[in-house]
Amino acid sequence: MQPLLHLENISKRYGAVRVLEGIDITVAGNEFLTILGPSGSGKTTILRIIGGFESIDGGRLMFEGRDLAAVPINRRPFNTVFQDYALFHHMTVAENVGYGLKVRGRPRAEIATRVAEVMETVGLAAFGGRYPAQLSGGQRQRVALARAIICEPRLILLDEPLSALDVELRAQMQRFLKSLQRRLGIAFVFITHDQEEAIALSDRIIVVNGGRIEQEGAPEQLYRRPHTPFTAAFLGENNLIAGTLAAVDGPLCAVDTPAGRLAATVDGPAPPTGSAVLVAVRPEHVRLDAAPMPGEGLTADVADVRFLGANVMIELRHAALPGALLKVRRLADGSAAGLVAGQRVGLSWSAGDAALLRAGPAPAAL
Amino acid sequence: MRHKAPLIDALLGLIAGVGLVALYAPLLATAAISFFQVVRVRGALGFAPFSLDPYAALLANGEILAALATSLVVAAVASIAALGLALMFAFYFVSARRGLGLAMQTMVFLPFLLPPIITGLSLLIAFREIDLGRGLVTIIIAHIVFIVPVVYRTVLVRLQLLGSSLTEASLDLGASRVQTLRYVILPQMRPALISGVLLAFAISFDETLITLFVAGSQTTLPIRLWAMMRVGFVPEINALATLILLFTAVITFAIGMLQRAGERA
């Protein structure tokens, strides 16, 4: 099936600085796609290229098989929700929402009806006569959304729209965005640096870093099967232990690390034995035993036990892994109660929970 | 925490008070004398009783009224024309390459920064070279030249404050460039446009030096007053000065209010 939107091998530079390289993204007609990356990763530039605010230096931007290169911003069938909302402060909320129809020369009566409908959709029916300055942050957000959806775009671009909201309102807006996208049945391309937000909202996530795509997939797939050290460290928490690939048996791998031989699972074809790899294990997948098990996992010394509400995070050190702090997450149900700093314990995990990654450049500090 | 020093506070208050009196006394004296004329009674100076005679004389003085009309026409035409030019220059500055914008900006500011005598003389020479006879047209052109920088500055500050995100939002919603200008940019800039025009109007209204070079037989109010003062003092001058004072005060107040409204927007 032809995708709604296809970014084909797009590159972009500012002067001598490459900001995007080999970006290839497809967007299906009704998916919630998130582009996730740290600040400076180029994710906003991708959004601005789709919207038409930035030119491209290489590649093609195709919409239903048509090249958008010559289509100006105001002719593209997309609408944007800007990070700062960019509401028109001299217009009322209703005038803001109706702007897209007004500039298209629609009759007044039709605009009034559509504005009322859309305001109802975003839950602002009573606010049409107010000015943006009289609204709260969350309400302005809804106005920005209403203003974008009234034009019936095929795709909505959202540039970190929730970053200015406080935690509770953000969770509420996340649910609202998700349900709105389902109801409208159109594609949302959502930009964020917040991995939890990306996991909670998206049908599919594209992780970008340093102007390149690191990995893409469904949230659960990315979380369970990261392919790169960056993805492993950026989505949730991960223990990354460097080593050399010693043996491969189907998806099962044995990795020699300074802390001993560890088991891991490789997703896809394995790298040749002898190559530098990383073993990635989630803190919640590590088993903790009072006594080390012979021949399995590794032993480490408890460095700190931190109570985090529902969870307890146990941080451990291993003499052969200097500088690395191993993390184990446990439910705060009393099972970790006896642990004290300095205690030696055994750590182990199922091979299926440990991902084998090709060692790339060191993950960015988070 | 502020230190309490009543003596120093009192001293500062006194200095400020003396300063204000020194600044405003001559203005208030002029206004007072326009209602209570100074007369000489048996060799001693005294005040005549309240009278509006100077104002009546002013209304009857055709020359002053003609000059006033010229000044108002010049100020109105020049400040509206300056607004149009300033807008174009400001839009150019925010969209052009930085070097070109700065070069343009220097050229816009230069006539305002040069000594007026140089600007006036240059304009006079230029008008003679192109055979443009001195009169209303030359006065208006000269005024546009030196008030454009003032309007440009006011307009540019607001335009830069607006940034590009509103323009992008408008285009994103399907508006054309012209629609964006009309529905979004100009309304957002309205306080700056009005205060720029008022400021330009006030400056044009009392400009004397440059106007002296380019005015022919048609004189503006400041030049008329200056000419009158050379040959002797007439009471209607006080009345006129008082009216201008009042008018300027209103304009200044309006500019202040508009600029505050602009900051809040």
* Same-domain status, A264 and A317: yes
Three-state secondary-structure class, residue A63:
strand
Q: Does residue A229 fall inside a structural domain?
A: no
ipTM score assigned to the predicted complex = 0.84
Answer yes or no: do A23 and A117 share one domain. yes
pLDDT surpasses 50 at A276 = yes
Q: Are residues B174 and B238 in the same domain?
A: yes
Per-residue pLDDT at A91 exceeds 60: yes
Q: Which of residues 236-255 of A touch B (CB under 8 A)?
A: none
Contact B176 A89 (CB under 8 A): no
Contact A73 B172 (CB under 8 A): yes
Q: Are residues B129 and B228 in the same domain?
A: yes
Segment 58-97 of chain A within 8 Å of chain B by CB: 72-75, 78-80, 82, 84, 86-90
Residue ending a domain, choose from A224, A248, A269? A224
Question: How confident is the prediction along chain B (265 residues), in pLDDT tens digits per residue?
Answer: 566 788 888 999 999 999 999 998 988 888 888 888 877 777 787 788 888 888 888 888 888 889 989 999 999 999 999 999 999 999 999 888 888 989 999 999 998 888 989 999 999 999 999 988 888 999 999 999 989 999 999 999 999 988 889 999 999 999 999 999 999 999 999 888 988 998 899 899 888 888 988 888 888 888 888 888 887 777 788 888 888 888 888 888 888 887 777 665 5
Same domain for B106 and B226, yes or no, is yes
Q: How many A/B residue pairs have CB atoms within 8 Å? A: 60
Interchain pair A151, B173: CB under 8 A: yes
Query: Following DSSP, what letter does each residue of B70-123 receive, concatenated?
Result: HHHHHHHHHHHHHHHHHHHHHHHHHHS-HHHHHHHHHHHHHHHHS-HHHHHHHH
**Alpha carbon of A344: minimum distance to chain B alpha carbons (Å):** 56
Q: Answer with the one of A203, A224, A245 that is the final residue of a domain.
A: A224
Nearest-CA distance B160 → chain A (Å):
15
Please count the structural domains in chain B.
2
Q: Are residue A307 and residue A341 in the same domain, yes or no?
A: yes
- Residue closest to A80 by CA, chosen among B182, B170, B188, B180: B170
Q: How far out from the chain centre does Cα A64 lie?
A: 25
A127 CA to chain B: closest CA distance, Å? 20
Q: Do B172 and A104 touch (CB under 8 A)?
A: no
Question: Same domain, yes or no, for B15 and B110?
Answer: no
A315 in any annotated domain: yes
Chain B residues with CB within 8 Å of chain A CB: 165-166, 168-176, 179, 183-184, 187-188, 190, 265
Looking at the fold, whether B167 and B42 belong to one and the same domain comes out as no
Structure tokens at B190: 């309205």
Based on the domain organization, do B34 and B149 belong to the same domain? no
Whether B129 maps to a domain, the answer reads yes
Number of domains chain A contains: 2
Give the one of B166, B172, B175 whose C-beta lies nearest to A51's C-beta: B172
pLDDT tens by residue, A196-246: 999 999 999 999 999 999 999 999 999 988 989 999 989 988 899 989 999
A217 in Cβ contact with A228 (< 8 Å): no
- Domain co-membership, A159 together with A278: no
Do A22 and A78 sit in the same domain of this protein? yes
Question: What residues in B contact A51, CB-CB < 8 Å?
Answer: 168, 172
Per-residue burial over A58-97, b if 16 or more Cβ lie within 10 Å, else e, is ebebbbeeeebeeeebbebbbbbbbbbbbbbebbbbbbbb
Whole-number Å distance between alpha carbons of A357 and B78: 72
Distance CA A317, CA A304 (A): 9
Domain of residue B30, residue span: 6-47
User: Do residues A92 and A191 both lie within one domain?
Assistant: yes
For A96-118, the pLDDT digits (tens) are: 999 999 999 999 999 999 999 99
**Is residue B81 assigned to a domain?**
yes
Task: Name the residue in chain B with its Cα closest to that of A48.
Answer: B168
- Strands in A204-209's sheet, in edge-to-edge order, are A78-81, A155-159, A187-192, A32-36, A204-209, A212-217
Q: Using an 8 Å CB-CB cutoff, list chain A residues near B181.
A: none
A127 belongs to a structural domain: yes
Q: What is the pLDDT of residues A282-307, one digit of tens each?
A: 999 998 887 766 666 788 888 888 88
**Of B168, B169, B188, which is closest to A90 when you measure between CB atoms?**
B188
A120 against B3, higher pLDDT = A120
Residue B214: CATH number of its domain: 1.10.3720.10
> A198 to chain B nearest CA, in Å?
24
Question: Which residues lie closer than 8 Å to A355 by C-beta, 6 or more apart?
Answer: A224, A225, A226, A232, A264, A265, A266, A267, A279, A280, A281
- Chain B CB contacts of A86 below 8 Å: 165-166, 168-169
**Tokens at B252, concatenated:** 């200044």
* CA-CA-CA-CA dihedral for A340, A342, A343, A348, to nearest 10: 110
Classify residue B130: in a domain, yes or no.
yes
Q: Which pLDDT band, with edges at 50, 70 and 90, does A35 fall under?
A: very high
Least Cα separation, residue B182 to chain A (angstroms): 11
Provide the pLDDT confidence category of residue A362 given band limits of 50, 70 and 90. very low
**Cβ neighbours of A197 (radius 10 Å):** 21
Same domain, B39 and B165: no
Question: Are B171 and A82 inside 8 Å of each other by CB?
Answer: no
Is there a single domain that holds both residue B32 and residue B116?
A: no
The last residue of a domain, from among A224, A253, A279 = A224
User: SS3 for B133?
Assistant: coil
CB contact under 8 A, A74 and B174: yes
A271 lies in which domain range? Answer: 237-358
Please count the other Cβ atoms lying within 10 Å of the Cβ belonging to residue B116.
17
Q: Give A366's pLDDT tier (boundaries 50, 70, 90).
A: very low
Sign of the dihedral through C-alpha A128, A134, A138, A144? positive
Angstrom distance (rounded) from CA A61 to CA B1: 61
Q: Are A191 and A159 in contact (CB under 8 A)?
A: yes
List pLDDT tens digits, range A58-84: 999 999 989 998 899 999 999 999 998
Whether residues A26 and A153 share a domain: the answer is yes
**Is B183 in Cβ contact with A80 (below 8 Å)?**
no
CA dihedral A321, A322, A325, A328 (to 10 degrees): 30
The CATH number for A128's domain is 3.40.50.300
Same domain, A196 and A104: yes
Whether A365 is in a domain gets the answer: no
Q: What is the amino acid identity at position B151?
A: V
Q: Which member of A78, A88, A100 has the closest CB to residue B184?
A: A88
Residue B47: predicted pLDDT: 81
Same domain? For B12 and B95 the reply is: no
d(CA B144, CA B174): 37
Other Cβ atoms within 10 Å of A198 Cβ, number = 24
Tell me, yes or no, whether A171 and A34 share the same domain: yes
The pLDDT of residue A277 is: 92
Nearest Cα residue in chain B from A152: B173
Q: Which residues from B are below 8 Å from A102, CB to CB?
A: 183
* Nearest in space to A62 (alpha carbons), one of A76, A74, A45: A76
Contact check, Cβ <8 Å, B170/A99: yes
> Residue A280's beta-bridge partner residues?
A240, A355
Same domain, B63 and B12: no
**Residue B147 sits in the same domain as residue B80:** yes
At B184, the amino acid letter reads V
Does any domain span residue B171?
yes
pLDDT in tens, A146-169: 999 999 999 999 999 888 888 888
Does any domain span residue A345? yes
DSSP state of B38: E
**B1 within a domain of the structure (yes/no):** no
For the packed helices B236-264 and B186-206, what is the interaxial angle rounded to 10 degrees? 160
Q: Locate the chain A residue with the closest alpha carbon to B168.
A: A53
CA-CA distance, A156 to A186, in Å (whole number)?
8
A364 in any annotated domain: no
Q: Which residues of B146-180 are buried (b: 16+ CB within 10 A; e: fewer)?
A: bbbbbbbbbbbebbeebeebbbbbbbbbbbeeebb
* Residues A82 and A218 grouped into a single domain: yes
Q: Specify whether A156 is located in the same domain as A272.
A: no
- Specify the DSSP element, H or E, that contains A343: none
Residue B25: inside a domain, yes or no?
yes
| Chain-chain contact of A88 with B169 (C-beta, under 8 angstroms) | yes
User: Looking at the domain assignment, is residue B155 inside a domain?
Assistant: yes
Q: Which of B77, B65, B208, B80 is nearest to B136 (CA)?
A: B77
CATH number of residue A280's parent domain: 2.40.50.100
Residue type, B223: I
Residues B29 and B151 in one domain: no
- A258 and A305: one domain? yes
